Amino acid sequence: MGGEEGEERESPLISSVGDPAEEPFKRTGTIWTAMAHIITGVIGAGVLSLAWSTAQLGWVAGPLTIVVFAATTIFSANLLCDCYRSPDPECGPGRNRSYMEAVQLYLGEKRRRICGVFLQESLYGGGIAYTITSAVSARAIQKSNCYHKEGHEASCQYGDTTYMLLFGAVQIVVSQIPDFHNMAWLSIVATIMSFSYSFIGLGLGIAKVIENGVIRGSVGGVSADSIADKLWLVFQALGDIAFSYPYSIILLEIQDTLRSPPPENQNMKKASTGAIFIATFFYLCCGGFGYAAFGSDTPGNLLTGFGFYEPYWLIDFANACIVVHLVGGYQVYSQPLFAFGERWFSEKFPNSGFVNNFYPFKLPLVPAFQLNPFRLCFRTCYVISTTVIAMIFPYFNQVLGVLGALNYWPLAIYFPMEMYFVQKKIGAWTTKWILFQTFSMVCLLVSILALIGSMEGLVVAKLS
């Protein structure tokens, strides 16, 4: 099998599921490139809402909740890493190149279809969230310059529709990157950007705490007019934190880029653990110092809510880094959906030249590349649709909360756990089965509460 991995193949568009005899590319990924992909997917829009989330939960529950979500993410990732090869997780001949392929193999067609609904919705929702966040950050640059020139009391109100359209236009072009195996460079650039604005947000938070001379905030978090209002905010905060760790759905695609030996599952577990430790460190620092700096006045988005006004050029640079990072982050979440759609159409219409044929295309100053008409149309329509929905619901915290709550339990807990039961042949009502199921039910309850709170926030924001 190893001797066949380097062979090139031009058609069909997507290789058949789990066919070890045909390898359309040479796997060259390492732990470091895998970590870059993970960090690109994890440290994204979610990090900017963590100071607000910490403020709703307070000094004890806030950081503790972030750590708990990190631990469950590592737990889920380790279960999924062993699902890549089958039947043996280290040397099995079959490969599950995507989350849905693994679900189909271990759990069957019925649950694969159920999983597919959540998975595609999650990936699609990630594109919407990243479109919203990029527009908010681009608008923040314009507002920052306005505040610098006109003073901090100026109105400086701007819309974000134009920025969403511009981001969508960029994504239409970038979306023509064939797949994960051709975008390691984009993930590396995006990772650098994510570290840049995370450091800036952290640095500004520390500077603000020093300037204030006091650590703001309380154990109980931000107060509310009633217990019900407080619960809505707490539940929404849980949804925002859940959104901050959403990479289980792309884990197997990333693992499929790794070379071996050593076995892919070993390298992926190391990459996952390292990336989550790094992400969690930044999450705790950004969330903690943001809350310490602003207390009850903590903005929903740390770098665009204008808790910070100066130095304005640093705010501009940080928000520019966010936009560049989200260009890559959008692709990390869109590529699996692209692959799914293109695979389905390729299998449905195997004789269609529009779907399966590639044609040489050359633009001035750009190397020649192979253009597929269906890919161009399908990915362009996808980007347009995410942009339109983002324009209808441009609410940062609420959208992140809904997406995080809706997808956390089924995709990060339920399906990985059920596949683990089948793979390890764990019977019902054994000690391990009871412990895992109890843990799953607790996570389900948290997800339901977070979804209720986030939906309430989204409805209120839309109606107001």
pLDDT for the residue numbered 191: 73
Q: What is the pLDDT of residues 73-89, one digit of tens each?
A: 899 889 988 888 877 77
Q: What is the pLDDT of residues 39-67, one digit of tens each?
A: 776 766 567 778 889 999 999 999 999 99
pLDDT for the residue numbered 15: 36
CA torsion sign for 30, 327, 245, 307 is positive
Task: Yes or no: say if 119 and 410 are a contact pair by the CB < 8 Å rule.
Answer: no
pTM for this predicted structure: 0.77
Structure tokens at 412: 């990060």
401/457 Cα distance (integer angstroms): 9
109/101 Cα distance (integer angstroms): 10
Does pLDDT of 12 surpass 70?
no
Task: Yes or no: say if 382 and 334 are a contact pair by the CB < 8 Å rule.
Answer: yes
Dihedral angle of Cα 217, 223, 229, 231, to the nearest 10 degrees: 50
Does pLDDT of 18 surpass 50?
no
User: What angle (nearest 5°) sits at the alpha carbon of residue 187, between those of residues 201 and 66?
Assistant: 45
pLDDT for the residue numbered 16: 36
Structure tokens at 331: 């692709």
Which residues are within 8 A (CB) of 301 and not within 5 positions of it... i.e. 6 or more apart?
A: 48, 49, 52, 133, 136, 396, 397
Phi first, then psi, for residue 244 (nearest 5°) are: -75, -10
pLDDT for the residue numbered 17: 40
246 pLDDT band, cuts 50/70/90, is: low
pLDDT for the residue numbered 328: 77
Burial class for 337, CB neighbours closer than 10 Å (0-12, 13-18, 19+): buried
Indicate the average pLDDT of the chain. Answer: 81
Does pLDDT of 277 surpass 80?
yes
Q: What is the pLDDT of residues 280-321, one digit of tens each?
A: 888 888 888 889 888 888 887 777 665 666 777 888 888 888
Burial class for 359, CB neighbours closer than 10 Å (0-12, 13-18, 19+): exposed
Structure tokens at 100: 């849905």
Taking Cα atoms as reference points, which of 221, 205, 300, 209 lies closest to residue 63?
Answer: 221
Q: What is the pLDDT of residues 393-427, one digit of tens each?
A: 887 778 878 888 888 899 889 999 999 899 888 88
